[in-house]
Structure 1
Amino acid sequence: MTQPVRLCFVCLGNIIRSPLAEALFWHYAEQRGVAHKYEVDSAGTGAWHIGEPPDPRIRRVAARHGLHYDHRGRQIHPDDFDRFDWFFVMDDDTYAHMMALASLRGQGHKVRYLREFDPQAHGEREVPDPYYGGEDGFELVYRVIDRSVQGLLEALESGQLSSEQEA
């Protein structure tokens, strides 16, 4: 049997963007009947929210879209580079942090921006962090991550991106 492709979505605190990406990926993979082909997790670069559930504001937005999920925040660990095939980051700071960790193991090829897979990104790499903003920012982030995750799943399923490929 083929090994599952192992993905980890990463943001700053692991309570808004990365757990939403994880939940949306599972949703679309299950919808397409391909969830068995993947292992998916999320993490944050910071330790502030370890063990905490997702921010209630993003959960409300997700619920309005029919998505309900459970999650507890965790911090990325260098050993995660042995566990995962790909890391999909949300912003430049997270990218820099992950590349610093990856360089210790020569695995920078595993780190990508999630927004690379957003067909409406128009060159923008970052998924904005809505933490200090209003409800409209959370809705925007939901839509950006939703599009990006669908694009990512399509890239994986079409073979444009695989666990053996080095970026």
Structure 2
Amino acid sequence: MSNPRKPFRVLFVCMGNICRSPAAEIVCSKLLSESDLRDSVEIDSAGTIGYHSGKGPDSRMAATLKARGYPIFGRARQVQPQDLEDFDLILVADEENLADVRRLDRDGSRSAKIKLLVDYCENHDAPRVPDPYYGGQSGFEEVADLVEDACAGLLAQLRAR
């Protein structure tokens, strides 16, 4: 028997959709597959720019996640105005992404569903998920730590609703 309820849809967004947002999608996907929410939540990721469209996750981010036991998948795409309609929650990596996505919401009617991913962290107190692209390995580890925390917190809140 199929679930008659529409799945709750979450979109993770960063700038290029090759580091932070695919990391969130990959981590959340694994957590969902191991949870009671696997059939009631759908996830995706996108970037505020289309420069990397069609490319897979950054090799350094992929290696960091693979070392933590996550399967690597996905192709970059740019966030579209229709995504604000199609997704129930849009979680962005930082304040710049927040401003960019909110600009797509011309009348402001969907602003309540656009939030920072770190708002769901339970064990880290961080203002944003920093962009690790131009840094060293420690930046990718920090992203993975924050994303794991935020995704676990997200699933806990979704479970409680």
TM-score scaled by length of structure 2 = 0.94
On the 8 A contact 2:102/2:108 being kept in 1, the answer is no
User: Percent of counterpart pairs with the same letter?
Assistant: 34
Question: Deviation at 1:121?
Answer: 3.3
State the Cα deviation string for residues 7-27 of structure 1 (Å, max 9, x = none): 100000000110110111111
Which string of whole-angstrom CA distances, capped at 9 and with x for unpartnered residues, describes residues 32-91 of structure 1?
132110111000001110000100001100111010121100000001112111100000
Letter in 1 for 2:89: W
> Residues 56-95 of structure 1 correspond to what in structure 2 (within 5 A)?
56-95=59-98
Report Cα offsets for 1:102-142 as digits up to 9, x if no partner.
234621111011101112333x3310100000011101110
The CA distance in 1 between the partners of 2:6 and 2:108, in whole Å, is 22
Pair 1:52 & 2:55 matched: yes
State whether structure 2 residue 11 is matched by structure 1 residue 8.
yes
Structure 2 residue 41 is the aligned partner of structure 1 residue 38: yes
> What TM-score does the superposition give when structure 1 sets the normalisation length?
0.91
Match of 1:14, SS? coil
C-alpha RMSD of matched pairs (Å): 1.1
- SS for the counterpart of 2:81 is coil
SS for the counterpart of 2:39 is: helix
Q: Could you tell me which residue of structure 2 aligns to residue 20 of structure 1?
A: 23
Structure 2 counterpart of 1:126: 128
Aligned counterpart, 1:147: 149
SS in 2 for 1:34: coil
Specify the code of the residue in structure 1 equivalent to 2:132. P
The unaligned stretches of length 5 or more in structure 2 are none
Any runs of at least 4 consecutive aligned residues in structure 1 with deviations exceeding 4 A, and if so which? none
